[in-house]
Amino acid sequence: MTISTTSSTGTTGSTSGSTRPAGADSLRSSRRSRVVWLLVVVGVLACVAVSSLVLGSRQVGWGDIVAGVTGHDTTIAEAAVAKRVPRTVLAMVVGAALGLAGAAMQGVTRNPLADPGILGVNMGASLAVVTGIAWFGLSGAQSFTWVAITGAAVTAVFVYAVASMGRGGPTPLKLALAGTATTAAFSSFITAVVLPRGDIADSVRSWQIGGVGGATFDRILPVVPFLVVGLLVSVVSARGLNSLALGDDVAAGLGERVAIARGSAALGAVVLCGAATALAGPIGFVGLVLPHVCRLLVGIDHRWLLPFSALTGACLLTVADVVGRVVARPGELDVGIITAIIGAPFFIYIVRRQKVRAL
Amino acid sequence: MTTTLELVVAGRRRRARRRASIVGVLLVLAAALFAASLVYGRTVYPIGDVWAVIRGEEVPGATFTVGRLRLPRAVLAVIAGFAFGLGGVTFQTMLRNPLASPDIIGITGGASAAATIGIVFFSLEGAQISVLAIVAGLMVAMVIYALSFKDGVAGIRLILIGIGIAAMLESVTTYVLSKAGQWDLQEALRWLTGSLNGSSWSDVVPLLVASLVLVPLLLSRTGALGTLPLGDDTAAALGTRVEATRLVVVLAAVGLIAFATAATGPIAFVAFLAGPIAARLVGPGASLLVPAALVGAVLVLLADLVGQYALDTRYPVGVVTGVLGAPYLVYLIVRTNRAGGNL
Amino acid sequence: MTTDHRLVAQQLTLGYRERTVIEGLDLEVPPGQITAIVGANACGKSTLLRSLSRLLAPTHGQVLLDGKQVHRLPAKELARTLGLLPQSPIAPEGIAVSDLVGRGRTPHQGMFSRWSSDDDVAVAAALDATQTAELADRPVDELSGGQRQRVWIAMALAQQTDLLLLDEPTTFLDVSHQVEVLDLLTDLNRSRGTTIVMVLHDLNLAARYADRLIAIAGGTVHSSGEPRDVLTEDMVRAVFGLDSQIITDPTSERPLMLPLGRHGVVGSTADGRRSQ
């Protein structure tokens, strides 16, 4: 039965009585394997971060790296490394935010296909920012962030509300369709807003394509508070997501306040992907892929799943950035296209694995 | 007292009459808009002159403006609209979902990505881009179809896989645009918006030939398409060969969409909206193929007139359909889901 | 008017991908009778029905209609002889009852769907037979569950087939509507001689209405024959893993199965153990 795997995530302390449940040993071993995986993922992340500093269109030596990281940029090589530092940080931060947001959204919607890109949340943030640039003279990371988060939140609520209407609640099909149709409608609006304004077309386009290339700490810092808030809210709502996984009625029966649990998890996710979009433009598929991989590694307990999705998200986006720098030398391939090329086949794999009735 | 038979006959006649009158109204509307787009413009020619040009007589000024510029443009608008509408409604009927139109499930996206790559990276032009777009549209459709095959093709799986492919192609297009030089960018954006500017007979001919083959093919499957909305099992029980029908219909509809896209670029939402609008007009149950195709033609003609003359800047037709269509689309999603997901 | 179409399954093996559901099953549908297929959840009842109506191709063996393989017959020709009502058919939004019933005429129409007066007559007869004539112009989505099921049966009737297969025609219906649907099917069988094969969940209703029961277990036929021969305590134990007592239903003189659970039976103790 599925119940046994679900409840294996609960606390075991209270059950240690005279009759010890048979599952206790397997619980201990699964916790051990999670700790091992945690160490592995942290190790991989460290390697990835180092390689992000080392690899790039310009070859550098170890001396340059030490110098670059510690703030010297007297030689060209040192300057190149110094520029890669904020870029690496940005890729890790944005990747973590997107991975975490994806895991939280999949939990909130109980839907394996939930992803900020597929659900149209990224495009909502884009439309808000583009409108802001075109009509309200918006500029600068701080103001982008607020506008992007608002746009993301409004879109998320809209798409979810629309998909929940009618028979069967928000099924994967209805969510994906509502999200895609909303994306189509929004991108039409964006075209209409931008087309007559040649002067802003370039700044909109460079933001829309996004990526982590031109990162500086000045751009990252203002967004950090949002990311921290989003992170805290999401992590706090992890337990609530575990209850929600059993269905609203069962969760309510377990004493969970369903609306609050869902609302807070969704809020965390929206703040995170709004902030990530404000920083790096719309990047799809990170939030879709990683939660599925992490479920295989650490099971379905959101208290483990959310941090793991964040860590692996940081890995994936940094790797995507490094790969983009290496394969297209001397040019660069945008991270968004790399995540899409990795992510779309994965999306298709998930769809094919599902039973038709579950869609 | 009326017998059941009289009741049945009366009900059927009533529905048939409604459908016939709607088709009639749409035909008149399309003809009127067609005439208007020949007559109206910077210079307004009397209808007599226009008619003379169509019959092949030489009229100073009008022969060039109407015969070379406006006539191919209007003809292209009609055929492309017809093709978009018919292709779109075919997908929606077959997949039992009004949101499952070719622009959502990646087919238009395939043509767009290929055309963008052709323009930006290989500096292709005109006919080469058209061929590329057609081939890419068909290939993407086949890939989606093949990937959704698992004990038969389930409509739902096809839609979702199409959405995944569409998202990937979208980011490819965005990326390619980011690498484009200024001139190529203009060219690519113009193509991506969907436009009738600069239409010539050489754009019309391939689409016309394709339509003459594919439209009768699709219309011959009206009966089978009528059973698919009842579910695959029921359709099969009614003697429809579900997989075979779906394959033929997919290929024909994709062909229409791809040829139309190659001629005009992806005119936003025409394929998407023609079916649902037609469904609201003719009422539930009737076959939507012909009404939706006519709605498509009317939409494109109307949007082109609006884009050229109604506003202070000239907009390509795709921007007009996009902006007018988007709110209706949002309304449609809301309504569809509330009603449970049928066309 | 009776029909003598013979529907036979020989050494039938069915499955989805590597999972085999039915293995080496032999079956003969008695013409002109009502047959009910019973069995536990997920025993392959519906799979069997789908294969009998060529929705699912067998991995081994064959289904023969009058000696011809159903999977080789032209789809429309088969659909004029054999009808199927799936478990949860989909009604397009807003479609009127008579329009939906008219879809049952599809196998009788040509490429460009010409509607003939025969079609009108068939639809009217189907509406009359299912007592849905007064609903003819109503949208299907506004009907109650029982009415809707009658409309779907009407659609299958308009198809005018001599064989009709139904997959759990009584699911989601309350007991009075279940009886109503089964009475309607019995009328059909008696008046037109339509051969009916249906999957049913309720053993007692199956025994009451069917001329023959087929019990499926372990991917093959456990037993088949008249209800009194098939519905036995041994069969219920073997097929459903349930202890039961079979009595004769005083209203129909058919067998009636009374389940013996651990509780609620005279003589059961507090912890649910039955005194022997």
- Mutation target to probe the B interface, by most B beta carbons within 10 A, among C56, C76, C80, C103 is C103
Domain that holds residue B197: 72-339
Using CA coordinates, name the residue in chain B closest to A282.
B171
- What SS3 state is found at C76? helix
CA–CA distance, A260 with A274 (Å, rounded to integer)? 21
Q: How confident is the model at residue B179 (pLDDT cuts 50, 70, 90)?
A: confident
Using CA coordinates, name the residue in chain C closest to B236.
C55
Give how many domains chain B has, as a whole number: 1
Q: How confident is the model at residue A7 (pLDDT cuts 50, 70, 90)?
A: very low
Provide, as residue numbers in chain B, all residues whose Cβ is less than 8 Å from the Cβ of A180. Answer: 99, 104, 163, 166-167
Strongest mean pLDDT among A32-41, B261-270, B293-302, C265-274: B293-302
Q: Evaluate if residue B298 carries a pLDDT over 90.
A: yes
Verify whether the Cβ–Cβ distance C54 to B236 is below 8 Å: yes
Chains B and C share 3 or more Cβ pairs within 8 Å:
yes
Provide, as residue numbers in chain B, all residues whose Cβ is less than 8 Å from the Cβ of C111. Answer: 220, 223
Instruction: Say if residue C176 is exposed, middle or buried (CB neighbours under 10 Å; 0-12, 13-18, 19+).
Output: exposed
Q: What is the pTM of this model?
A: 0.82
Domain at C1-81+161-239, CATH homologous superfamily? P-loop containing nucleotide triphosphate hydrolases (3.40.50.300)
Q: How confident is the model at residue A21 (pLDDT cuts 50, 70, 90)?
A: low
The stretch B4-29 carries a mean pLDDT of 88
pLDDT of residue B77: 94
Mean pLDDT of the residues in chain B: 85
Contacting residues for A356 by C-beta, under 8 A, at least 6 apart: B154, B156, B157
Q: How confident is the model at residue B160 (pLDDT cuts 50, 70, 90)?
A: confident
Q: Evaluate if residue A356 carries a pLDDT over 70.
A: no
Which residue in B4, B229, B240 is closest to C124 by CB distance? Answer: B4
Provide, as residue numbers in chain C, all residues whose Cβ is less than 8 Å from the Cβ of B342. Answer: 90, 92-94
Q: Evaluate if residue B39 carries a pLDDT over 90.
A: no
pLDDT of residue A314: 92
In a domain, B103, yes or no: yes
In a domain, B147, yes or no: yes
Q: What is the DSSP string of B126-144?
A: HHHHHHHHHHHHHHHHHHH
Write the CATH number for B226.
1.10.3470.10
Domain positions in chain A: 35-358
Provide, as residue numbers in chain B, all residues whose Cβ is less than 8 Å from the Cβ of A117. Answer: 167
CA–CA distance, C30 with C37 (Å, rounded to integer)? 13
pLDDT digits (tens, 9 = 90+) for B119-129: 888 888 778 88
The stretch A16-23 carries a mean pLDDT of 49
**Exposure class string for C128-160: b at 16+ Cβ within 10 A, else e:** bbbebbebbeebbeebeebbbbbbbbbbbbbbb
At the top level of CATH, the class of A35-358 is mainly alpha
pLDDT digits (tens, 9 = 90+) for C25-70: 888 999 999 999 999 888 888 889 888 888 888 888 999 988 888 8
Q: Evaluate if residue A4 carries a pLDDT over 50.
A: no
pLDDT digits (tens, 9 = 90+) for A215-236: 777 778 888 888 899 999 988 8
CA–CA distance, A336 with B169 (Å, rounded to integer)? 12
pLDDT of residue B26: 95
Q: How confident is the model at residue A97 (pLDDT cuts 50, 70, 90)?
A: very high
pLDDT digits (tens, 9 = 90+) for A250-298: 887 777 787 888 888 888 988 898 888 888 877 888 888 888 888 888 8
Domain positions in chain C: 1-81+161-239, 92-160
The more confidently predicted of residues C8 and A172 is C8
- The interface pTM score, or ipTM, of the predicted complex is 0.80
Verify whether the Cβ–Cβ distance C98 to B7 is below 8 Å: yes
Q: Evaluate if residue B80 carries a pLDDT over 90.
A: yes
Alpha-carbon radius of gyration of chain B? 21
Verify whether the Cβ–Cβ distance A340 to B338 is below 8 Å: no
Verify whether the Cβ–Cβ distance B220 to C112 is below 8 Å: yes
- Mutation target to probe the A interface, by most A beta carbons within 10 A, among B186, B333, B338, B342 is B333
pLDDT digits (tens, 9 = 90+) for C117-166: 888 888 998 898 888 888 888 888 888 888 888 899 899 888 889 999 99
Verify whether the Cβ–Cβ distance C96 to B284 is below 8 Å: yes
Q: Evaluate if residue B1 carries a pLDDT over 60.
A: no
pLDDT digits (tens, 9 = 90+) for A322-349: 888 888 776 777 888 888 888 888 888 8
CA–CA distance, B124 with A329 (Å, rounded to integer)? 25
Mean pLDDT of the residues in chain A: 78
Using CA coordinates, name the residue in chain A closest to B103.
A184
